[in-house]
Amino acid sequence: MPEPGHLTHNGPLSLDSGSNRNVALSGQGGQIAHPLASGGAVAVDGTKPVRIDTHAHVFHRGLPMLEGRRYTPGYDATLENYLQQLDNNGLTHGILVQPSFLGEDNGFMLESIAAAHGRLRGIAVVGPTLSQKRVQQLRDGGVIGVRINLIGQRIPNLNTPEWSRALNELISAGMYIEVYGRSTALAIIVPMLLAKGANVILDHVAMPDPQLGIYDPHFETVLDLALTRKVWCKISAPYRSGPHGHTNALEAYPELVLAFKTDRILWGSDWPHTQHENAQHYRKTVEFFESVVPDPAERAKILGNFQALF
């Protein structure tokens, strides 16, 4: 595996450098209003409610990037910036997702998790040649799952000896399998993962067809999979589903919560909104969550759903 990246590097230009574009401060008289800071699951130590952002990325331009990547960031999204977003929006913890353009070198994410002193966990990117030792290293580093990205990719054959062995190691270690793909792909790969005993997380409202929305038959198949109680779905990043993504998410949420129940729904900011930075910011993602789930008590339950991972 590639060697880990480094948290220290020369002269980073962070995403928020020189501005508060992604720093959501509100309220009056200099007071910071925490829009997500009401209610929620109480932390293990009983101090304050746990509120988790389950989807964000950190990186900097000095890291080695994957050849053939679809996107190259022109800025740094640092750990310090991200923790500030959590603090400014009343969130206590976060889950970092390895960016696809960094490939299987999860080193910078692991270092960021360690530097956050318990506030963060991670979703790694791995290949099918994964060893038991490497799985344990990831677990020890705060990784709680791995991600399969199907955007622009073929669905892998999970029944090959390599994938079967890798998935067995991951599932035996209690890792979640997170899948990023449209409902058409999810309807195929998720049953395969469930058949192998995996717990599965679906990214970004399960991404139904942008035109069909909740009437996408593959989305209906995904809803049926909720009956297994082994699938979670993130309410996040509607902009990745096209111009109708927000509307589709508003329509999809009642169907999702009916199928999955509140305890299998998650929220993620998708910070720093790669490829959508000019139109998105952290506070906007909070407002999206509030519009989809207007009940504060229900939002608090969703934000606390993964507290056992911390």
Q: Note the pLDDT tens digit of each residue in 70-126.
A: 899 999 999 999 999 999 999 999 999 999 999 999 999 999 999 999 999 999 999
Whether cis (ω within 30° of 0) applies to the bond prior to 272 is yes
Domain that holds residue 238: 51-62+72-309
Q: What pLDDT is recorded for position 68?
A: 86
Tokens of 262: 């509140």
CB contact set of 201 (below 8 Å; sequence gap of 6+)? 123, 145, 176, 177, 178, 179, 231, 232, 233, 234, 266
In a domain, 195, yes or no: yes
AA identity, residue 161:
P
Provide the number of structural domains found in the chain: 1
In a domain, 45, yes or no: no
In a domain, 31, yes or no: no
In a domain, 8, yes or no: no
Query: Is 21 a residue whose pLDDT tops 50?
Result: no
In a domain, 10, yes or no: no
In a domain, 161, yes or no: yes
Q: Note the pLDDT tens digit of each residue in 162-185.
A: 999 999 999 999 999 999 999 999
Q: What is the DSSP string of 83-100?
A: HHHHHHTT--EEEEE--G
Q: The pTM is what?
A: 0.87
In a domain, 110, yes or no: yes
Q: How many whole angstroms separate alpha carbon 98 and alpha carbon 132?
A: 20
In a domain, 41, yes or no: no
CATH number at residue 152: 3.20.20.140
